[in-house]
Amino acid sequence: MKRLTRAALALAATLSLGQALGVTRGGQMVFGRYADSLFLDPVLNDANLDIWILTNLYDTLLQPTPDGKRVQPGLASRYVLSKDGKTITLTLRPNIKFADGSPITSADVKWSLDRARNPDNGAWVDLLGSIASVAVSGNTVTVNLKNPDPSIIPALATFNTGIMPQKLFNAAPGKNDAEKAKAFAEKPIGSGPFVLSEWKRGSYMVLKRNPYYWKMGEDKKSLPYLDTLRFEIIPDDNTRILKMQAGELQGAEFIPLSRVAELKADPKINMALFPSTQVSSVFMNNRPKLKDGSANPLSDVRVRQALNYAVNRPALIQLVTFGNGKPMKSFMSSSTPLFDKSQKGYTYDLAKAKSLLAAAGYANGTDVSILVTSGSANGQALATALQQMWGAVGVRLKIEQLDAASSTARYRANDFQMRASAWTDDIADPSEITSYFAVAGATEAAHTGFTDPTIEKLFVQSQQETDKVKRAAQYKQIQTIYTNASPIIYLYETPYPVALAQFVKGFNQIPLGNNIFEKTSIEK
Amino acid sequence: MHSSYILRRLLQIIPLFLAVMVVVFVLVHLIPGDPVSAILGDRATPDKVARANRELGLDKPLAVQFGLFVNQVLHGNLGESINLKVPVVRLILDRLPVTLFVDVYAAVLGVVMAVPLAVLAAVRRNTWIDGLIRAVFQVGLSLPVFYVALQLLTLLGARLGWFPIGGYGTTFSEHLYHLFLPALTLGLNLAAILVRTLRNSVIEVLTAEYVDFARAKGLRSRVIMTRHVLRNALIATVTLLGLNIGGLIGGAVITETVFAIPGVGKLMVDAIFGRDYPVIQGLTLTFAVLVSLVFLATDLIHARLDPRAELS
């Protein structure tokens, strides 16, 4: 009798353990997006609306790890970097197929990479600038570099190197690559875990599981677990949340940070805050003269530092992000690879701010103006809070509200004094944000006009430095110089707020923003 | 019906169309910002912007661009959306029916709400019923559309669960069900405008001499109501509906955003923010033609209902 009970208990325990380990297959997930995708081509797209879901349709040779900081094998099961850092040899997995069942060949890989690095194609070519040639034989892909490039491995895990079917693409109607891309992207056949089955622009998009996807789930069968992933486009935040609360959605992105606490308290909802690479800062015009010829107090480093010291970040984070942010310590996010943990950013120190302003000759304060996107509640709250904080040291902030496109036109013409901005990395490497924020380059350090000879030199070195320790040291120095020079106002980092039904498991949004649905399941 | 009159009115749309074409083209190119920077944002290097502008033909002189645009339109082609990479005609054909559906639905609901209440208010003028009807709609008129939309959505959609929250559905009956709340939002606004005017026009008729005469002849009040009063009420309604078509299109922008309806209102807003010139131009031309046709239809119906209205 006793033995029987024990056996029964053991059996029950095993069964429940089995359930705990098991994953439910099938079903549909409806996910609310704030806006629809524009163009589902991995190479020619420009917007996060595309980038953040593209890897569900097109797999890459390598993939970012779930924490977004390193890479893991993708369509290639292994990769080897040569000693001189100038050759990468990748081995393709056996029997990999596109979503229509046709084999993925090394020729498709070569063609996809060559297309992605063609200088005529799109905004992402620079990520592959170091590639001299791509050679293939059998299931081996050899990427030859012009010079060692530490960011090339992460680049092979970035959306723009998604592998596409050469034959199907070329069979699409159109006279040239751009036209064929438009036709192909209407109903793409890719190599990712899902395949597009229906798309009513501006309304919904239906993705079906790709039965030929190579990756295996916990049950040793191929991923994804979901049969159907349906994106519904719901532009209004309140409506998206109402639909989530009513159970009409199983997930919803871009929950306003002001509503996070309320959804956290809802027992049916798992209010997830995924770590991101998003940094919010204020870019300052560092030039001696403004566009209209007037003198610019922000060209004095002491003024820029003073303004940084006069920002009460904890208060700002409460006000604007409702406690869902953390102070920026470096110009790059703490989720960006090679972020230097010893960076301090700026503390709140009014006395220091006042003495710096006095030393710069502005004991009685000065006037500055900031560009803010109209209609953005966050931008409004931020600018108003800064106005208050800087008012305490005599700096009078004028808020100029413009729509995004007008504001972009203004700062691209260097016609601004300050502008609020948020940035997210696209590649798991610090070079992208650094080339934009800190290096003169084509966009004059985010149009600030800031330039520093040591940073320029270090950046060039770091772009070819394959020794990880040395490269980390270079980046540490870049971050320190940048903070001291203070071309920007350091604000905060914010997570990606995604509301999920409690029974949805295995969804991830990595710090680069990619929405990963391959392991998502419905566990009711 | 005077067919020569209709033809003349239709022909009048052509110069209007040309004028709109010029004005819109000039306006969209006058707003600061360009589609390429708008979409590339922070990552736009001067080279990339220049190349994209070249590809899109945006580097050509404005006069040349305008010539190309006119030439396109004459061939029945409205170009291709810069941001969505699809023909503008297809976008409009896809989404215009949705907006028209909501607008017609709203007009029907508005009339159904307004006419009986306006007549009731007129017949019981200066009683508490009249006061209540007028007060309720006065409040309705002063509330912003987005607020009404959100309240209806929260109460009837989320709280009571009578209606789905947003969306559009696929079949006709689903459309009716899904689009009830947005149509009600716009319909309430329309009804508020209608009630005020209708009430006054009904009072005018009720106190008119010919109605007294009809009563003296011993006509039953129901006959008087339908033959005289409602006929006149209808004239006012049709005129007001015609005049408010612009308001309906404007209201569509807000309701389509709140209720997640894939119509042309939302398309227009996105196009303006993204500086998607071809879409803005194509939609404006479409609106111009639509509004002209509605005005024409209004005049014709008005003439049919009111023999005194001269078609000139």
| Residues A280-324 pLDDT 10s | 999 999 999 999 999 999 999 999 999 999 999 999 999 999 999
Q: What would the pLDDT profile of A441-495 be if each residue is shown by its tens digit?
A: 888 999 999 999 999 999 999 999 989 999 999 999 999 999 999 999 999 999 9
Four-way CATH pick for A279-493: 3.40.640.10, 3.30.40.230, 3.10.105.10, 3.40.50.300: 3.10.105.10
Residues of chain A in contact with residue B264, where contact means CB-CB under 8 angstroms, are none
Question: How many angstroms separate the CA atoms of A59 and A214, rounded?
Answer: 10
- Please tell me which residue of chain B has the smallest CA distance to A122: B48
Task: Return the amino acid letter for A8.
Answer: A
- Please tell me which residue of chain A has the smallest CA distance to B90: A201
Would you say A166 and A111 are in contact if contact means Cβ atoms under 8 Å apart? Answer: yes
Would you say A145 and A131 are in contact if contact means Cβ atoms under 8 Å apart? Answer: yes
Would you say A251 and A501 are in contact if contact means Cβ atoms under 8 Å apart? Answer: yes
Question: Does pLDDT of B2 surpass 60?
Answer: yes
Tokens of A253: 């992105």
What pLDDT score was predicted for residue B309? 63
| Residue A33 neighbours by CB under 8 Å, 6+ apart | A49, A231, A232, A233, A234, A253, A254
Would you say A362 and A303 are in contact if contact means Cβ atoms under 8 Å apart? Answer: yes
Question: How many angstroms separate the CA atoms of A496 and A505, rounded?
Answer: 17
Question: Does pLDDT of A424 surpass 90?
Answer: yes
Residues of chain A in contact with residue B48, where contact means CB-CB under 8 angstroms, are 123
Q: B85 and A232 in contact by Cβ < 8 A?
A: no
CA distances, A180 to each of A171, A198, B169 (Å): 8, 19, 32
Strands A228-233, A28-33: pairing kind: parallel
Residue with tokens 């209806």: B152
How high does pLDDT run on average in chain B?
Answer: 84
Intrachain domains A48-168 and A279-493 with the same fold: no
CA nearest neighbour of A50 among A481, A491, A513, A417: A513
What mean pLDDT do residues B132-137 have?
A: 88
DSSP string, A93-134: PTT-B-TTS-B--HHHHHHHHHHHT-TTS-S-GGGGTTEEEE
Residue with tokens 């931020």: A382
In this prediction, residue B54 has a pLDDT band, given cuts at 50, 70 and 90, of: confident
What mean pLDDT do residues B222-248 have?
A: 76
Question: Does pLDDT of A389 surpass 80?
Answer: yes
- Strand partners for A29: A229
- Give the DSSP letter of residue B143: S
What pLDDT score was predicted for residue A396? 97
Tell me which of A235-249, B232-246, B256-270 is least confident. Answer: B232-246
Would you say B184 and B109 are in contact if contact means Cβ atoms under 8 Å apart? Answer: yes
Residues of chain A in contact with residue B257, where contact means CB-CB under 8 angstroms, are 235-236
Question: Does pLDDT of B23 surpass 70?
Answer: yes
CB atoms near residue B173 (< 10 Å): 9
B142 burial class (0-12, 13-18, 19+ CB within 10 angstroms)?
Answer: exposed
What percentage of chain B has pLDDT greater than the value 90? 17
CA distances, A35 to each of A187, B52, B257, B262, B267 (Å): 19, 23, 10, 11, 11
To 5 degrees, how large is the angle CA A285–CA A291–CA A294?
A: 90
Class of domain A48-168: alpha beta
In A364-452, beta strands by DSSP E: 366-373, 395-402, 418-423
pTM of the model: 0.89
DSSP string, B105-168: HHHHHHHHHHHHHHHHHHHTTTSHHHHHHHHHHHHHHHS-HHHHHHHHIIIIIIIS-SS-SS--
Residues of chain B in contact with residue A242, where contact means CB-CB under 8 angstroms, are 153-154, 157-158, 165
Q: What would the pLDDT profile of A64-123 be if each residue is shown by its tens digit?
A: 999 988 999 999 999 999 999 999 999 999 999 999 999 999 999 999 999 999 988 888
Task: Return the amino acid letter for B165.
Answer: I
| Contact A70/B at CB under 8 A | no
CA of B277 vs chain A CAs: smallest distance (Å): 13
- Strand partners for A521: A505
Q: What would the pLDDT profile of A135-170 be if each residue is shown by its tens digit?
A: 999 999 999 999 999 999 999 999 999 999 999 999
Q: Measured between CB atoms, which of A178, A245, A405 is closest to B33?
A: A405
Tokens of A54: 């593209």
Question: Does pLDDT of B310 surpass 70?
Answer: no
Tokens of B148: 């009404």
**Coil vs helix vs strand at A353:** helix
CA distances, A179 to each of A111, A174, B49 (Å): 17, 5, 19
- Please tell me which residue of chain B has the smallest CA distance to A403: B273
Q: Measured between CB atoms, which of A201, A406, A436 is closest to B94?
A: A201
What pLDDT score was predicted for residue B293? 85
Question: How many angstroms separate the CA atoms of A177 and A44, rounded?
Answer: 10
H or E element: which one contains B52?
A: helix B46-56
**Residue B189: phi, psi to the nearest 5?**
-60, -45
Instruction: Tell which wins on pLDDT, B85 or A496.
Output: A496
In this prediction, residue A18 has a pLDDT band, given cuts at 50, 70 and 90, of: very low
Q: Where are the domains of chain A?
A: 48-168, 279-493
Q: B32 and A409 in contact by Cβ < 8 A?
A: yes
Domains (ranges, CATH) in chain B?
1-89 (no CATH), 93-305 (1.10.3720.10)
How high does pLDDT run on average in chain A?
Answer: 93
Question: Does pLDDT of A19 surpass 50?
Answer: no
To 5 degrees, how large is the angle CA B26–CA B283–CA B61?
A: 30
Question: How many angstroms separate the CA atoms of B219 and B195, rounded?
Answer: 27
Determine the residue among A49, A204, A232, A242 to mutate to test chain B binding: the one whose Cβ has the most chain B Cβ atoms within 10 Å. Answer: A242
CA nearest neighbour of A109 among A131, A86, A82, A85: A131
Q: What would the pLDDT profile of B111-122 be if each residue is shown by its tens digit?
A: 898 888 888 888
B85 burial class (0-12, 13-18, 19+ CB within 10 angstroms)?
Answer: buried
What pLDDT score was predicted for residue A11? 47
Q: B260 and A233 in contact by Cβ < 8 A?
A: yes
What pLDDT score was predicted for residue A80? 96
What percentage of chain A has pLDDT greater than the value 70? 96
**Residue A57: phi, psi to the nearest 5?**
-100, -35
